[in-house]
Amino acid sequence: MPGRKEMLEIAGREVAISNPEKIFFPELGLTKIDLVRYYLAVAEGALRGVDGRPMALKRFVNGADGEFFFQKRAPTSRPEWIETVELKFPSGRTAQEIVVRDAAQLVWIVNLGCIDLNPHPVRADDLDHPDEFRIDLDPVPGVDWGQILEVAVATRDVLEEFGLTGWPKTSGSRGVHVYARLERRWTFPEVRRAAVALAREVERREPHLATSKWWKEERHGVFLDYNQNAKDRTVASAYSVRPTSDGRVSTPLAWDEVPGCEPDAFTIRTVPERFARAGDPWAGIDDAAGSLEPLLELAEQHEAAGFADAPWPPQYEKQANEPPRVQPSKKRGGPPTPEGIVPPPAPGKTVGPTGRRRTTMPLIEIARAATEREALEGLERWKAKHPDVVPHLEPPDVMVDSMRGRSTTWTRIRVNLRHVPEDERPVQEALEVDYDPWEGVEWPS
């Protein structure tokens, strides 16, 4: 029997909400219609973050605790008032993606199960020139929130010195985003080049707090993810609800709110009241478009000093000035290093922490999970079993990796026991969470 529908009158249009009472946040007891009401309450701010931008649909059809999948192509069955634009991706493929401009269109995609909003940094009328510069501050495990905020302020200061206005927001997860509006004059490669220069400059000023290093084995502190400015990358936009158990929101802040703020203060339950009371701190962002020329001049100085391009994500073509795409510890040349071993897999698995590759590091695998939350819960259970090991672990020793599945991602957690005395190192045990993203797939013979 078909599920119940609720019809809403929004922006002069009727929008159908299917299964409005379906639970989307089990721990909060919040439903799909509660999510819709949230977005209507903050629609002015949420639309400012997505207005006129193509959007990848990240769909949680079974709520925040369920699996999600990315849908780049707009559903073929859609109202005539849903706008689309054709995007071309680095792979050479194309897709008609949805463009949201009003609250009715916004609610229509929320009804599809889009908990957070993932727009591209371009507008539909000019897909080649981004107008949004995105600095994603991504902490390595173990970095405290205060350090992330310090790096955010350092990022603001560098942006200001190079002629751009920074706009901060919580990511709704573990980090902070700082955006800047751009004049639409530069291509994606130029914007990314400027982002690399910015990351290196923040690292130069705050070497103990921040890093521009792409390879996880080289990172410390807070990584400034310059590759979020590569073409086809999307980031959860302002006022996006994130699929966390407490329904955190990626919330725009004023700079005087940044010191001392707490990420768990901004949730689906608290942000509507904050928005009604104080308005949107990003109300002026569209009037603050600036020039990339000063940062591109800094990039030229870096290149003249011998800096190569920084590594690109693996799905992009190799660039002319890009260093080899190989972990620094695996580069050839220099003194010979031991061949290492292939770490044993967990009981019942066919491959271990490094797949079939050798390593000189004592790695064990803790979890393979459909969501990061489940993986981290598994990590906490493992720590409780091995309390004597935990004090030896440094933040980079816990590796939380987002892995690609069929049409979604999954999370793997590994632990490097290099700082644990050899006779105290736990052996590889059964995974705390054992998720198989390929279960049910029939491979060709």
Binned at pLDDT 50, 70 and 90, residue 197 comes out as very high
In eight-state DSSP terms, residue 217 is G
Residue 332 has pLDDT above 70, yes or no: no
Decide: 206 and 151 in contact? Cβ < 8 Å.
Answer: yes
Task: Give the residue from 131, 155, 153, 128 showing the smallest Cα distance to 51.
Answer: 131
Q: Evaluate if residue 297 carries a pLDDT over 90.
A: yes
Tokens 């007891």, residue located: 29
Q: Which residues pair with 352 in a beta bridge?
A: 355
pLDDT category at 405 given cuts 50, 70, 90 is low
Mean pLDDT over 186-198 rounds to 96
d(CA 47, CA 127) in angstroms, rounded, equals: 19
* The predicted structure's pLDDT at residue 422: 86
Residue 440: what pLDDT? Answer: 61
For residue 263, the Cα-to-chain-centroid distance in whole angstroms is: 16
Mean pLDDT of all residues in 392-397: 87
How far CA 149 is from CA of 145, 257, 402, in Å, comes to 6, 10, 24
Check: CB of residue 378 under 8 Å from CB of residue 433: yes
Is the pLDDT score of 96 beyond 70?
A: yes
**pLDDT of res. 337:** 45
Residue 340 has a pLDDT of 74
pTM, 2 dp? 0.77
Q: For position 2, what pLDDT does the model report? A: 54
pLDDT at position 107 is 98
442 or 263, which is more confident? 263
The closest of 47, 91, 55, 88 to 72, measured between CA atoms, is 55
Q: Provide the pLDDT for residue 445.
A: 43
pLDDT of residue 300: 94
**Judging by beta carbons within 10 Å of its beta carbon (0-12, 13-18, 19+), is residue 445 exposed, middle or buried?**
exposed
Q: What is the percent of the chain with per-residue pLDDT over 70, rounded to a whole number? A: 94
Closest to 28 measured CA to CA, from 92, 109, 115: 115
What pLDDT does 333 receive? 54
105-123 residues labelled b (16+ CB within 10 A) or e (exposed)? bbbbbbbbbbbbbbbbbbb
Q: Which residue, 243, 252, 267, is CA-closest to 116?
A: 243
In tens, the pLDDT along 143-162 reads 999 999 999 999 999 999 99
Say which residue, 420 or 271, is predicted with more confidence. 271
pLDDT digits (tens, 9 = 90+) for 34-69: 999 999 999 999 999 999 999 999 999 999 988 888
pLDDT of residue 36: 98
Instruction: Give counts: helices (H), strands (E), the chain.
Output: 8, 18
415-436 pLDDT tens trace: 999 999 888 899 899 999 999 8
Residue labelled with tokens 């629609």: 43
Q: For all residues of the chain together, what is the average pLDDT?
A: 90
